[in-house]
Amino acid sequence: MPVFETIKAKSGTAVPLFIFGDHSSAHIPQAYNNLGLTGEDLTRHIAVDIGTQSLIRNLCARFGCAGHLAGVSRLVLDCNRDPEAPGLIPRVSDGTRIPGNENITPSERARRIAQIHTPYHAALGKALERAAADTPDPLIVSMHSFTPQLKSGGSFRPTQIGLLRKADPDSTRRAADVLARLHPDRAVAVNKPYSAFDLNYTVDTQVTPRGLRHITFEIRQDLIDTPDKIGVMSQVLDDVLSALI
């Protein structure tokens, strides 16, 4: 089961940048029978951070930097959760029942952790070590996206680009300054629609302990749900990352 994909840095380049996506895949392995879901539930935001895989690939190609992509949907197991967290394998997501997860046994939970969570994080850790060894003071980017409005309730989210700030406030401040200067039409917010002080497992355990500069983007999904829109957002983030590295 391909639980992750490594994007290799362009040969001969040494760009101090590394980009990863914990929720970049909607893939549910055949053995899970789609977890009992059908239709749009298999492709909407509960299954995948829409647009992030193409956005990460695009940015890695632009900069020639390395990257790391999740290979399995977060409906099977959420790689951005502590293995002990109740939401690691969701039973309900945005009001949708996940039948294949409702009666999961401890042994099945342990099996998914061993087959998905453990190798995903082991490979990410090695990739971060390579980035730190190969380039000076690399910037680590965690890429996420969010739905404009939850189906289970709540109002429309006006934020277009969220910058999640916790252990590296300087990188977040610099990114916000670039966006305000070059893209003042973008609705940018810090720690919205989510906060880095909540559900920040991967950065907290993989990036921060290594003392690496980092930033987490949350991009509203209606801004990256087509190739043309991804191209536009890639240029926006190119401007930001170019200034930070």
Nearest to 7 by CA among 123, 147, 178, 173: 123
**Sheet strands side by side (includes 213-220):** 4-7, 66-70, 17-21, 139-146, 213-220, 161-164, 188-190
pLDDT at residue 21 greater than cutoff 70: yes
Q: Report the C-alpha gap between 130 and 105 in whole angstroms.
A: 37
Q: What is the pTM of this model?
A: 0.96
Q: Which whole-number Å values give the CA distances from 113 to 3, 116, 189, 200, 221, in the listed order?
A: 11, 5, 33, 18, 28
pLDDT at residue 13 greater than cutoff 90: no
Higher pLDDT, 237 or 13: 237
CATH architecture of 4-244: 3-Layer(aba) Sandwich (3.40)
Task: Indicate the pLDDT class of residue 149, thresholds 50, 70 and 90.
Answer: very high
Nearest to 64 by CA among 117, 9, 119: 9
pLDDT at residue 191 greater than cutoff 90: yes
pLDDT at residue 1 greater than cutoff 70: no
pLDDT per position as a tens digit, 197-239: 999 999 999 999 999 999 999 999 999 999 999 999 999 999 9
> Are residues 142 and 55 in contact, defined by beta-carbon separation less than 8 angstroms?
no
Nearest to 24 by CA among 78, 85, 65: 78
